[in-house]
Chains A and B, each alone.
Chain A
Amino acid sequence: MSQQTVSITAQNQPTVLERLFQVTRFRGFTITGCTVFSRQNESVLDIELTLQDAMDASNTTERAIGNLFNQLYKQTDITTVNLKSANLKSVNLETCPENSQMAHQIS
């Protein structure tokens, strides 16, 4: 079990948080912390999620977090996703272009 922090910016639409939580749970993570602030007349949300992965043996942490990253990133209202945890040095995601931004953040 490892802990990760994901920071997200999103447009403040009615379904955005619910969808964020749903996708996070469905892709195998438990939320252990969450802060949300709005800015720009409440039109933009800054969200920080602390996550614990609920891993099964067949799934590696790297794949799971990469998958979560991509699944969050493709949501219509989510504009950026960044992984902040320091304990992910070993993550090798550069084969996926979508993750280059994330890999950047990790290092």
Chain B
Amino acid sequence: MNKKMTNSGANQTLSLLQQYGVTDIFGYPGGAIMPMYDAIYSSEITHYLCRHEQGAAMAAIGYARASNKVGVCMATSGPGATNLITGLADAMSDSIPVIAITGQVSTKAMGSDAFQEVDIISLSLACTKYSFQVKRLEDLADCIHQAFSIATSDRPGPVLIDIPKDVQVAVSNKPLELVYSKRHLIAKSTPPKQKNGINEKAQYEKASELIASAKKPVLYVGGGVGMARADEQLAELMQLLCAPTVATLKGLGSVPYDRKLYLGMLGMHGTKAANMAIQQSDLLVVLGARFDDRATGKLNEFAPNAKVIHMDIDPAEINKRRTADVPLLGSLKQTLATLIEVVRENRANDAERQEWNNYCVSQIETLEKSATETRRSEEGNGSIDSKTPSTAVTAIDATQLLYRLNQFLAVGPEMHVTTDVGQHQMWAAQYLQFTRSNQFISSCGLGTMGFGIPAAIGAQISKPNSLVVSVTGDGSFMMNMQELATIKRYKLPVKILLLDNSRLGLVRQWQQLFFEQRYSETDLSDNPDFVAIAKAFEIDAQTITQESEVVAALQKMTESKGAYLLHVRINIFENVWPLVPPEKANHEMIDRV
């Protein structure tokens, strides 16, 4: 019999995924998911074999983030499923719609500590929006329907669907259709969750009054703008308010870097101009952001004089860390449009605002310039740490290199940058220039080392014509470097920019600054030969050590037809500046020690 024709649970799962527009799945096979893999064998959905389930989960995230589609990953029971967990936690933290399908031992073996049985439902509860276990074939369509609905609605997030092996092989005699959920109907018949117990219109008017009377307003842009695809509405609001604007790490790109009144990123490694503006502001208009501790610094001294208009899709973010004077709930695409309408009729006192705007802009110039200059003169001679011989210093300045990279990124029709976690991530955030939401794909909330390469794989697959560059560090690179095999297998033209300080740089920086230079377990000077590793995967690669090589090397990397690894030796003791020290308020930001 032609297997393709059977109406098995596995085939039904794939058909349902297809009905939801899924064209690509990232995964790794194993015993309890074999029926699904058998179905994949003759499915129209393309399966991408990663070399670790964590890689598959993070590829699904990169895919989702670059394309705004749902990312799908798949793994077997037990260790396969547990290997997905870090990816799910990452997706949860950054609100990424990902569906993870895991195999499970057969229903009759469940609960018996069977081979490769793990209670993945329990393990996943803290890092998914919802977890389904499909115990009967009849429930399959319903679960998949709901999984997509939950993953993409309200604040998006990951959903797990655990399918026992016998449900995958069970055959149904009923024709498959995309049934509407019974539970969905139950939910509908119970009173809808009261999204708003207050007069919405009055809230908007209150917001508009606050905006009109503010003398020092600041727009605070988070990742929610990109998630809601509200770039346009944001641009309109910016034009209307004509107010200084700052972005969070996840919000980078939603405001084009060269936009007038854009002060850059706020927070621990943000710009001084952004942090100082916020600290002096009398009104924050917060769009899709959650007052993350890395953004706010010491919370009770954060923006001490500011009223807050908090626009978010997730009611649980309102008043969680900072009390909102006016909360506006809903998808930013709609709420921003409504706010714009109301604000249009209620114009502000322009002269006072002009003064504030001029002041903020002048801050970008004076503060940023002086910060960069001090850093240069301080670190250029490599004498920061007496324990380190200055011979360890190379001439390549990582931040300058990233700044130079901009000219090569801007040439193509599309570009995406993924990063790992560490100093290189912060430098990328500070020095790369983005013009649209979701161009910068970084593990923002969870800070997951090993994210960059699999995320770049997913981004490249969802955006085949994009120039995808993964900026990584020598520590992070090794956390998922097995995925070079995935790059090779699918001939993905991903570019890897490896900034090698032969240290766990960000941790080393903290040891230097806050742990009396006790460099515990952060020395990676016995790193392997990265170029040889790349070449073992048939990826073209080169090492550079001198400033004079930078431009040609960046050009070669970005123009190479296939994948490329540019290995850059950078100054071991280069630090990320400026910095808000731990437990300090953002206005206590320092340029250097």
Contact = CB atoms under 8 A, between A and B. Distances in A.
Residue from the set B154, B194, B314 with the largest chain A CB neighbour count within 10 Å: B194
B183 A96 contact: no
A22 B133 contact: no
A101 interface: yes
Nearest to A69: B316
Interface residues of A, number: 29
B411 interface: no
A96 B186 contact: no
Given A11-B186, A76-B130, A96-B324, A19 B316 contact: no
A74 B317 CA distance: 11
A100 B197 contact: yes
Interface string A91-103: 0011111111100
Residue from the set A66, A93, A97, A100 with the largest chain B CB neighbour count within 10 Å: A97
B568 to A, nearest CB: 41
Contacts of A73: 193, 315-316
Contact of A18 (B125, B186, B198, B325): B125
A71 interface: yes
Nearest to A92: B323
A70 B316 CA distance: 5
B interface, size bucket: 20 to 34
Contact of A63 (B125, B186, B319): B319
A91 B383 CA distance: 55
Interface string B173-200: 0000000000100110011011111100
A35 interface: no
A15 interface: yes
Interface in B1-57: none
A93 to B, nearest CB: 8
B183 A70 contact: no
B131 A100 contact: no
B318 interface: yes
B329 interface: yes
Contacts, number: 81
Contacts of B133: 14
B240 to A, nearest CB: 25
Contacts of B524: none
Contacts of B197: 97-101, 104
B108 interface: no
Given A76-B150, A79-B190, A100-B197, A19 B319 contact: no
A90 interface: no
Given A11-B186, A79-B190, A22 B126 contact: yes
Interface in B313-360: 314-316, 318-320, 323-325, 327, 329
A97 B195 contact: yes
A26 interface: yes
A43 interface: yes
Given A97-B197, A100-B197, A15 B320 contact: no
Contacts of A74: 154, 314-316
A107 interface: no
B507 interface: no
B318 A70 contact: yes
A38 interface: no
A98 B125 contact: no
A66 B150 CA distance: 23
A96 to B, nearest CB: 5
Interface of A: 11, 13-15, 18-19, 22, 26, 43, 63, 66-67, 70-71, 73-74, 76, 79-80, 93-101, 104
Given A97-B203, A97-B315, A98-B194, 8 more contacts: A15-B130, A43-B186, A70-B318, A73-B193, A76-B130, A97-B197, A97-B329, A99-B197
29 contacts: A11-B183, A11-B186, A11-B187, A15-B121, A15-B131, A18-B125, A19-B125, A22-B126, A43-B186, A63-B320, A66-B319, A67-B319, A70-B320, A73-B193, A73-B315, A74-B315, A74-B316, A76-B130, A79-B191, A95-B323, A95-B325, A96-B319, A97-B198, A97-B203, A97-B329, A98-B194, A98-B195, A98-B197, A98-B329
